[in-house]
Amino acid sequence: MRACIAISALVPLVVTSCVDLDNSMSSMRGESRYMAGYNQKREHDWKSSPIPDDVSYWDGDHLTGPASIRINLTQQKAFFYKGGQLAGVSRISTGKEGRGTPSGTYKVNQKDKYHRSSSYGVFKEKGTDRIVDDDAEAHNEPVPPGCYYEGAPMFNYLNFAPAVGMHTGYLPGYAASHGCVRMPEKMALKFFDNAVIGTPVTVER
């Protein structure tokens, strides 16, 4: 069971039995893998640095016609089209092993500018907002006593499959999400502003 335990200055490190060392260290520093993800900072426990954003670009403001989106899981890229013409390309980070982004043909069915996850996020201590667990799963574990759950930011969210969508997020250079399609903020915003409910989304391997 997790508990919101204050860390005394007299004790070098206190780790609860159900929080791993990396999580505890990040909690002590007030960091979160989810919050770091949104702010495009390097997560302390990733084994590789984010790749340079030299893949993403947008050149579609002058284009017209119906929008469509193609996501390639192998290339880790998303392509936005207007009237069949390429409007932009974004690097992405899709679902990691065991939580892969599902391939298939879909449509955008929800747009939420300031969406937050109802499943993944952080547990924070009430009163101090100190992060106790930066990798919380709301549906699979109880909120520790004295804490509350805060959903991971998934801003510029375009849902296209059950519990799966495109949104602003951290890109370490490989598939690392829980199934969603993470994008750089500037590209997530472009995709969000130019897609409408009903925009076709194709996810291919």
Mind telling me the catalytic residues?
167, 180
The Cα–Cα gap between 153 and 126 comes to 19
